[in-house]
C-alpha cells in the first residue's frame, strides 16, 4: 500500500477504536443502574481500563521493536474482539470489568503501534492534529450512538455488538491487505531503556502526557454524572452534550497544525492549558454546559502538540518504546487522576472537578522546563 493509504487506514482505525473507548463514559449511569453499583464501585471501570492500557504499553514497549509493528497490531485486534464479545454478552458486573480490562489492553497496544507507524511516514504527510482528531471523531459518534439506543429503550450492550462487527472487519482488512509494515529494530535492552527514560527531554514530556491524559479522561468520564447529578440534566441530554464536546474537541485538533505554526508546539500547550483552567472555573461557577465546550476546545490541541514535538525529534529506533511509555504514562495519569475524581465525586463533584486546576498548573510549569531542553542529545 502507498504511504497515503497507510495513513488513511491509521486514521480510520483510530476512529473505530476511539468509538469503543468513548462509549463507556455516556454509559456509566446505565451500568450503575443495570448492575446496581455505586459511583465509587463503577469508578473501577476507567481504572481497570487504563490499567490494561498501561500494562500493554509498558510491557509492549520493550518487545514491539523485535516483534514487529504488524504482528503487534494483529495481536491487539484479537484482544479487542475478545473484549467486545464479553461486553456484548455480559450478564454481571465482573464480566464488564474483565471486558473493560481486555479493551484497555487492546487499545494500548493498538494506539502505540499506530502512532509509531504514523511517525515512520514521510513528514510531509504526517498530521498529528488530524491523527488525534480521528480520536475525536470517534468521540462524537460514540455518545450519539449511545443516546440513540437509550431513546429507543434498547439494551446498551448492543452498542458493543456494533463495535464488534466494525473491529472484526478492520482485522480482516489487516490480514488481507497488510496496511502496516512489520517494521522491526534491534531489541532495546532494559539498561538502555532506563538510560533513555532518565533523559530530561524524555521524562519531562512523559509527565505532560501523564497529567494531561489523566485530567482529560477524568473530565470526560464523569461529565455524565456531573450533568445528571449536579446540573440536573437528563441522561439523554447529557449524552448529546458529550457529543457536542467531541465536535468542538475534534475541530480544535483539526486546526492544531495551524496553531503550532502560529504559536509553536510548546506555546500551544502553554496557552491552551491556561484557557482550560479559565473555562473550568467558569463551568463550576455558572453551571452551564457551554463552558464544557470551551473545555473541549482548550484540551484539543495539547496532546497532539506534545506528541508531534517529541515524535519528530527522537530517533526512530526508540519511537516504539517511547510511544509505549507515553501511552503508559497516560494510563498512570488516568488511574490516579480519573479514579480520584470519581471517588471524590461520590462526595462532591464540584471538588472533584477542581482537581484539573492543579494538574494543568503543573503542565504549564513542566512545559516551561521542557522548552529549555536541547534536542540534540535530550539531556
Per-residue pLDDT reduced to its tens digit, 329-361: 887 888 789 889 988 988 888 889 889 999 999
80-89, 141-150, 205-214, 291-300 — which is least confidently predicted? 141-150
Give the residue numbers spanning the domain of 6: 1-186
Would 379 be classed as within a structural domain?
Answer: no
Of the pLDDT bands very low, low, confident and very high (cuts 50, 70, 90), residue 377 is very low
From CA 45, how far away is CA 25, in angstroms rounded? Answer: 10
| DSSP count for the chain of H helices, then E strands | 21, 0
User: From CA 265, how far away is CA 375, in angstroms rounded?
Assistant: 14
Of 151, 167, 186, at which residue does a domain stop? 186
Mean pLDDT of the chain: 89
Residue, of 246 and 326, whose pLDDT is higher: 326
pTM reported for the whole predicted model: 0.78
Spatial separation of the C-alpha atoms in residues 197 and 207, rounded to whole Å: 11
For residue 372, pLDDT beyond 80? yes
Q: How high is the pLDDT of residue 148?
A: 87
Three-class SS of residue 18?
helix
Task: Give the pLDDT score at 272.
Answer: 97
Q: What is the DSSP string of 287-346?
A: --THHHHHHHHHHHTHHHHHHHHHHTSS-GGGHHHHHHHHHHHHHHHIIIIIHHHHHHHT
Same domain, 265 and 290: yes
Confidence of residue 265 (pLDDT cuts 50, 70, 90): very high
Angle at 106 between CA 119 and CA 81, to 5 degrees: 125
For residue 378, what pLDDT band results from cuts at 50, 70 and 90? very low
Does 170 fall in a domain? yes
Instruction: Please check whether residue 250 lies inside any domain of the structure.
Output: yes
Same domain, 174 and 231: no
Res. 29: pLDDT tops 90: no
Average pLDDT over residues 186-193: 80
At 168 the pLDDT is 97
d(CA 262, CA 247): 23
Residue at a domain's end among 186, 209, 235: 186
Query: CATH no. for residue 80?
Result: 1.20.1250.20
Amino acid at each position: 500500500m502507498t504511504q497515503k493509504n497507510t495513513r488513511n487506514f491509521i486514521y480510520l482505525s483510530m476512529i473505530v477504536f476511539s468509538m469503543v473507548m468513548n462509549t463507556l463514559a455516556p454509559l456509566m449511569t446505565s451500568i450503575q443502574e443495570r448492575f446496581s453499583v455505586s459511583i465509587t464501585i463503577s469508578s473501577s471501570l476507567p481504572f481497570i481500563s487504563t490499567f490494561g492500557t498501561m500494562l500493554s504499553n509498558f510491557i509492549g514497549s520493550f518487545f514491539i521493536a523485535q516483534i514487529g509493528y504488524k504482528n503487534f497490531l494483529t495481536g491487539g485486534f484479537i484482544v479487542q474482539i475478545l473484549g467486545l464479545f464479553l461486553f456484548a454478552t455480559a450478564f454481571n458486573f465482573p464480566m464488564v470489568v474483565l471486558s473493560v480490562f481486555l479493551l484497555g489492553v487492546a487499545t494500548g497496544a493498538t494506539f502505540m503501534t499506530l502512532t509509531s507507524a504514523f511517525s515512520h511516514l514521510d513528514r510531509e504527510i504526517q498530521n498529528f492534529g488530524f491523527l488525534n482528531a480521528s480520536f475525536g471523531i470517534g468521540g462524537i459518534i460514540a455518545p450519539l450512538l449511545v443516546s440513540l439506543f437509550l431513546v429507543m429503550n434498547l439494551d446498551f450492550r448492543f452498542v458493543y455488538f456494533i463495535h464488534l462487527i466494525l473491529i472484526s472487519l478492520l482485522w480482516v482488512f489487516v490480514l488481507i491487505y497488510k496496511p502496516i509494515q512489520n517494521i522491526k529494530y534491534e531489541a532495546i535492552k532494559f539498561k538502555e531503556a532506563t538510560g533513555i527514560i532518565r533523559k530530561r527531554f524524555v521524562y519531562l514530556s512523559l509527565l505532560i502526557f501523564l497529567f494531561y491524559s489523566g485530567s482529560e479522561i477524568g473530565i470526560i468520564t464523569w461529565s455524565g454524572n456531573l450533568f445528571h447529578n449536579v446540573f440536573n440534566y437528563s441522561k439523554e441530554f447529557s449524552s448529546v452534550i458529550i457529543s457536542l464536546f467531541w465536535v468542538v474537541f475534534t475541530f480544535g485538533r483539526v486546526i492544531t497544525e495551524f496553531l503550532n505554526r502560529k504559536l509553536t508546539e510548546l506555546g500551544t500547550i502553554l496557552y491552551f492549558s491556561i484557557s482550560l483552567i479559565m473555562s473550568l472555573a467558569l463551568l463550576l461557577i455558572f453551571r452551564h454546559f457551554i463552558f464544557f465546550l470551551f473545555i473541549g476546545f482548550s484540551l484539543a490541541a495539547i496532546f497532539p502538540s506534545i506528541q508531534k514535538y517529541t515524535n519528530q525529534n527522537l530517533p526512530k529506533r526508540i519511537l516504539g518504546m517511547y510511544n509505549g511509555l507515553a501511552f503508559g504514562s497516560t494510563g498512570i495519569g488516568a488511574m490516579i487522576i480519573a479514579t480520584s475524581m470519581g471517588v471524590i465525586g461520590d462526595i462532591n463533584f464540584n471538588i472533584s472537578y477542581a482537581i484539573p486546576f492543579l494538574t494543568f498548573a503543573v503542565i504549564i510549569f513542566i512545559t516551561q522546563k521542557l522548552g529549555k531542553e536541547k534536542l540534540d542529545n535530550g539531556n
